[in-house]
């Protein structure tokens, strides 16, 4: 092999290596914008919702229990699920606002 052939092979190999790095960076950017960033945004919304919980607010737990908040502590909530039936649940298990679900049931 001549020196020219060796230089051409080395240049082609360097070009392929650079292309590999570009593809890896592009894959990470795609994963970030389509998977990681939306998940972080949704988690922030859930955390803000949990910070804004108020007494007498209708909520749904992660287990699907509908109830009304009667007491809020640092890490847990007293939830009234029926008349004179109260349960203590972890604040992190509050899933969503149930006002829409209650309004739909009232119409039926």
- Whole-angstrom distance, CA of residue 82 vs CA of residue 45: 28
| This prediction's pTM | 0.58
Domain ranges of the chain: 1-52, 54-107
| SS3 of residue 68 by DSSP | strand
**Model confidence pLDDT, tens digit, residues 47-102:** 888 889 999 999 999 888 999 999 999 889 999 999 999 999 999 898 765 554 44
- Longest pairwise C-alpha distance within the chain: 92
CATH class of 54-107: mainly beta
Closest CA to 93 of 103, 85, 69: 69
Q: Which residues contact 90 (CB under 8 A, 6 or more apart)?
A: 75, 76, 77
């Amino acid at each position: 092999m001549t020196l020219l052939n060796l230089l051409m092979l080395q240049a082609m190999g360097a070009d392929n290596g650079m292309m590999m790095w570009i593809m890896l960076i592009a894959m990470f950017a795609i994963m970030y914008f389509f998977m990681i960033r939306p998940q972080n945004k949704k988690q922030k919304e859930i955390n803000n919702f949990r910070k804004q919980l108020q007494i007498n607010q209708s909520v749904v737990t992660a287990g699907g229990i509908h109830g009304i908040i009667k007491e809020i502590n640092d890490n847990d909530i007293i939830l009234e699920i029926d008349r004179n039936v109260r349960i203590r649940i972890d604040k992190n298990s509050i899933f969503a606002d149930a006002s829409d679900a209650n309004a739909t049931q009232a119409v039926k």
